[in-house]
Amino acid sequence: MPRTQEQFNQMKDEARQKIMSAALCLFSHKGLSATSIVDIAKKAGVSSGLLYHYFRSKEELFSELVGFAVASSGGFIEEIAGLGLGSAEKIRRISAKMIETLKEDDTTAQYFVLMVKLTLEGDLNEKTTENAKEAAKPVIILSGIIAQGQSAGEVKSGNPYEMAILYWAAVQGLCSYKLVMGENFMLPSAELLSGILIN
Amino acid sequence: MPRTQEQFNQMKDEARQKIMSAALCLFSHKGLSATSIVDIAKKAGVSSGLLYHYFRSKEELFSELVGFAVASSGGFIEEIAGLGLGSAEKIRRISAKMIETLKEDDTTAQYFVLMVKLTLEGDLNEKTTENAKEAAKPVIILSGIIAQGQSAGEVKSGNPYEMAILYWAAVQGLCSYKLVMGENFMLPSAELLSGILIN
Amino acid sequence: MPRTQEQFNQMKDEARQKIMSAALCLFSHKGLSATSIVDIAKKAGVSSGLLYHYFRSKEELFSELVGFAVASSGGFIEEIAGLGLGSAEKIRRISAKMIETLKEDDTTAQYFVLMVKLTLEGDLNEKTTENAKEAAKPVIILSGIIAQGQSAGEVKSGNPYEMAILYWAAVQGLCSYKLVMGENFMLPSAELLSGILIN
Amino acid sequence: MPRTQEQFNQMKDEARQKIMSAALCLFSHKGLSATSIVDIAKKAGVSSGLLYHYFRSKEELFSELVGFAVASSGGFIEEIAGLGLGSAEKIRRISAKMIETLKEDDTTAQYFVLMVKLTLEGDLNEKTTENAKEAAKPVIILSGIIAQGQSAGEVKSGNPYEMAILYWAAVQGLCSYKLVMGENFMLPSAELLSGILIN
DNA sequence: AATGAATGAGAATTCATTCAT
DNA sequence: AATGAATGAATTCTCATTCAT
């Protein structure tokens, strides 16, 4: 997640950035097919023709955004998983980071929501399949952390895979709610989120 | 009338049912605009024209389904909330019911997922706004149960509204995952779900 | 024109009559393609299916009505033309009859308006072409009366064919206005109408 | 901007003009619903999609044309009515102008025919109602001229409103015949037309 | 790089017609 | 005779994509 900003900033081309930012917002809200090229162009403040200088097609723009989403969400989990910490601490860090990034702006929520839309709406081409596989990683990684934590008596008991699914489902649901509820949304504390897995 | 009224109603309902069932499945997966009328008709085994005997437009079909979704999901929560039970017990029952219904078939998951799409994809007409309001009720009701349970020391401490959001976010996320993951999905136990709110 | 009623009455089948009457009204107002079978059936108080017991197609229903229109409007002119009267008197009789029938009800106006739609909207099949030829007769007959009247000094001078066109154009226009203007329409006197050709 | 604003307007107007001209011809002959978008596009030599760059819908295109028709036909009458002339002279001028314009091309006839179709075929929206009111003006204005002319003994006696209706009915009928009869149509002289009101 | 007019394929919708009852 | 559910072809309309400028 923290990479995202850098990655965006690295793009020298301002118009490209504006387009991606507008597209992310619209895709995450309305989905791939409910979002029109004209909508994106209008929101980005450019002409619809220009969009095709930067992206071969609407699908490709979508795909590229999903790629970013998958990479940035997966990345931070792998990073924390790789640290030499206790399982409970890892879960607390993941939760803290998650809540913190969600607090900052809508980008992370949009990325997470996009990842679900990928599977439901996207074409079934190579890139998509690859992305889908990548998107499943966090569940696997978290399963491992949970199993380890249970051995150490730090984590609630239960099927680790089921627990990982519940945890990410909650995160995914929070992202979705954040976009849907607008002003009425309130982010729970990191402790509450960790509480799904840790007593 | 050469045909009895009941026979007509029967037939009418049969085709109507098939259409609604097909539409629920497709809308919950792909969303309103990614689902074509032909897709729905094909899946329902009827001609695309027939769809317009029963529904004025694709939007109206979507809207009617969302209405069902909101009513049926809201209904069971209000029901349990109205029982003379302790808060912890109410939460356990809600969780048990939720998990149980999700186990049965995809309908409930589809309904829950549809409710989110309503806000993101639907037109902003009266019906939609009304539905959206109705869809927010569960969070409110659960907040009340949580607050009461905290007074009785049965429920974890924390902002009740935030906790209710987290809980429903988890439920919502589970429904979404169930549709997305297919075979790879595993439903967590009701205890794990209650565990978000109860120690 | 006076035949019309008889012809209608001769039809034993009540439903057939109701359908034709409804169709005449709708076709004369909205034209062939703007009038739907359901509209006609609804106005006639029957089911749309029944319509196909009496008429092979919408076109045929239209065609049959136009046939009536042509026959009844052409008929009465030929009749008066055949009488042993002076030209001026013939023109006065035609005008008087015309105004009188227009006063009675909308049927005649509807017939005249329909005849124009025939040429503009109808298919170019045999029946239509035949009808179109038939519809041109009144102009020819009136031309003859005018020419004769001019020789006798009873009728204004000018090209008889042009004058006949102007006269029927006025009649046609009156019928059109009668349908369009509704309450605001006022029928001119027969003298005024004859005045187009006679001083 | 790589293209000057004028060039854009030019082009825009070119295609727009071609579409409107084609539509006027088709609508005036076949009416609103018997004319398909594809027909119009084909006749205009553009793609059917382009039509929707310039007009929101077929109805709107129709409506815009009717607006033109009403404005242009009403305009010339008001103009002549406003001149400081005797009533008989005004009627002669109106008739002369009318016949002259009908001689030039089909546009005027198409406009007049369109105005009738407006009331019979158009939606009952604001614009339509407004147009319909405007379309009734010529009758009112001519009534005034007739009444004045009768006081001066220049115009035939009779109810001025009825006479105005007959006059415009004749004009309307001529326009209709011009389109229907094609080669067989012959325009009467302006004197013949004035003769409806003046001896 | 940038524009938006223009295209055409595809989606929604309508409606004449058929048919089982 | 009578019904209206059901069909599918035709029509309106949308929108991703191209292209001349």
Which segments of A31-154 does DSSP mark as H helices, in order?
37-44, 48-54, 58-82, 87-104, 107-121, 126-151
Higher pLDDT, B124 or B39: B39
B96 pLDDT higher than 60: yes
User: What pLDDT, on a 0 to 100 scale, did the predictor assign at position A54?
Assistant: 96
User: What pLDDT, on a 0 to 100 scale, did the predictor assign at position C53?
Assistant: 96
Report, as an integer, the average pLDDT of C3-13: 54
Task: Pick the range with the lowest mean pLDDT from A140-144, B123-127, C61-65, C89-93.
Answer: B123-127
Say how far apart CA C173 and CA C177 lie, in whole Å.
Answer: 6
User: What pLDDT, on a 0 to 100 scale, did the predictor assign at position A12?
Assistant: 60
Report, as an integer, the average pLDDT of D36-56: 97
User: What pLDDT, on a 0 to 100 scale, did the predictor assign at position C28?
Assistant: 95
Inter-chain contact C191–D158, Cβ cutoff 8 Å?
Answer: yes
Q: Which residues of chain A have pLDDT under 70?
A: 1-12
C121 pLDDT higher than 60: yes
Residues B10, B96: contact at Cβ < 8 Å? Answer: no
C10 pLDDT higher than 60: no
User: What pLDDT, on a 0 to 100 scale, did the predictor assign at position C134?
Assistant: 86
Number of Cβ within a 10 Å radius of residue C38: 11
C1' (F17) to CA (A199) span, angstroms: 55
Report, as an integer, the average pLDDT of D63-92: 93
Classify residue B11 as left (phi > 0), alpha (psi -120 to 50) or beta: alpha
**CATH number of the domain to which D165 belongs:** 1.10.357.10
Residues D73, D63: contact at Cβ < 8 Å? Answer: no
Report, as an integer, the average pLDDT of C31-49: 97
User: What pLDDT, on a 0 to 100 scale, did the predictor assign at position C12?
Assistant: 59
Say how far apart CA B194 and CA B189 lie, in whole Å.
Answer: 9
Residues A198, A155: contact at Cβ < 8 Å? Answer: yes
Please tell me which of the candidates D163, D170, D179 has its beta carbon nearest to residue C173: D170
Distance from CA of D132 to the nearest CA of C (A): 10
User: What pLDDT, on a 0 to 100 scale, did the predictor assign at position A189?
Assistant: 97
Report, as an integer, the average pLDDT of B128-146: 92
- Which of chain B's residues have a Cβ under 8 Å away from the Cβ of A173? 168-174, 176
Structural domain count, chain B: 1
Query: What would the two tokens of residue D176 be?
Result: 């209709």
Higher pLDDT, B9 or C26: C26
Say how far apart CA A34 and CA A51 lie, in whole Å.
Answer: 17
B7 pLDDT higher than 60: no
For residue D27, say whether its CB is under 7 Å from any atom of strand F.
no
User: What pLDDT, on a 0 to 100 scale, did the predictor assign at position B2?
Assistant: 35
pLDDT in tens, A154-188: 999 999 999 999 999 999 999 999 999 988 999 99
B107 pLDDT higher than 80: yes
pLDDT in tens, C42-78: 999 999 999 999 999 999 999 999 999 999 888 889 9
Cα torsion D45, D47, D49, D51 to 10°: value is: 0
Report, as an integer, the average pLDDT of C27-34: 95
Kindly state whether residue D92 falls inside one of the protein's structural domains.
yes
Q: Using alpha carbons, select from A117, A80, A85 the residue that is nearest to residue A98.
A: A80
Average pLDDT, chain D: 91
Report, as an integer, the average pLDDT of D3-7: 41
User: What pLDDT, on a 0 to 100 scale, did the predictor assign at position C74?
Assistant: 86
Kindly state whether residue A14 falls inside one of the protein's structural domains.
no
Kindly state whether residue D10 falls inside one of the protein's structural domains.
no
Q: Using alpha carbons, select from B94, B101, B67 the residue that is nearest to residue B80.
A: B94
Share of chain B above pLDDT 90, in %: 75
Q: Using alpha carbons, select from A133, A123, A126 the residue that is nearest to residue A32.
A: A123
Query: What would the two tokens of residue B150 be?
Result: 């905290």
**CA separation (Å) from B177 to A119, A136, B24, B45, B107?**
10, 11, 17, 28, 14
Report, as an integer, the average pLDDT of D5-29: 78
Say how far apart CA D199 and CA D196 lie, in whole Å.
Answer: 8
Determine the protein residue whose CA lies at the shortest distance from the C1' of E1.
A50
Calculate Rg over the CA atoms of chain B: 19
Residues of A with CB under 8 A from a CB of B: 29-34, 116, 119-121, 136, 156, 158-159, 161-163, 165-166, 168-174, 176-177, 179-181, 184-189, 191-193, 195-196, 199
Kindly state whether residue A16 falls inside one of the protein's structural domains.
no
User: What pLDDT, on a 0 to 100 scale, did the predictor assign at position C7?
Assistant: 52
Rounded to the nearest 5 degrees, what angle is found at the Cα of A74, between the Cα atoms of A71 and A80?
130
Inter-chain contact B168–A174, Cβ cutoff 8 Å?
Answer: no
Long-range contacts of C141-149 (CB under 8 A, 24+ apart): C141/C77, C141/C78, C141/C81, C142/C77, C142/C94, C142/C167, C142/C168, C144/C81, C145/C81, C145/C87, C145/C90, C145/C91, C146/C87, C146/C91, C146/C197, C148/C87, C149/C86, C149/C87, C149/C88, C149/C90, C149/C91, C149/C197, C149/C198
Share of chain C above pLDDT 70, in %: 94
Kindly state whether residue B73 falls inside one of the protein's structural domains.
yes
Kindly state whether residue A116 falls inside one of the protein's structural domains.
yes
Say how far apart CA D57 and CA D51 lie, in whole Å.
Answer: 8
User: What pLDDT, on a 0 to 100 scale, did the predictor assign at position D6?
Assistant: 45
Protein contacts on strand E: list nucleotides below 7 Å from a Cβ.
1-21
Say how far apart CA C79 and CA B166 lie, in whole Å.
Answer: 90
Give the residue numbers spanning the domain of B67: 58-194
pLDDT in tens, B166-184: 999 999 999 999 999 888 9
Q: Tell me the DSSP string of D39-76.
A: HHHHHHTS-HHHHHHH-SSHHHHHHHHHHHHHHHHHHH
Residues of C with CB under 8 A from a CB of D: 29-34, 116-117, 119-121, 136, 156, 158-159, 161-163, 165-166, 168-174, 176-177, 179-181, 184-189, 191-193, 195-196, 199
pLDDT in tens, D115-159: 988 888 877 788 888 888 888 899 999 999 999 999 999 999 999
C133 pLDDT higher than 90: no
Kindly state whether residue D51 falls inside one of the protein's structural domains.
no
Kindly state whether residue B52 falls inside one of the protein's structural domains.
no
Higher pLDDT, B84 or B5: B84
Phi/psi of residue C172, nearest 5 degrees = -55, -45
A126 Cβ partners below 8 Å, 6+ apart?
none
Say how far apart CA D31 and CA C89 lie, in whole Å.
Answer: 38
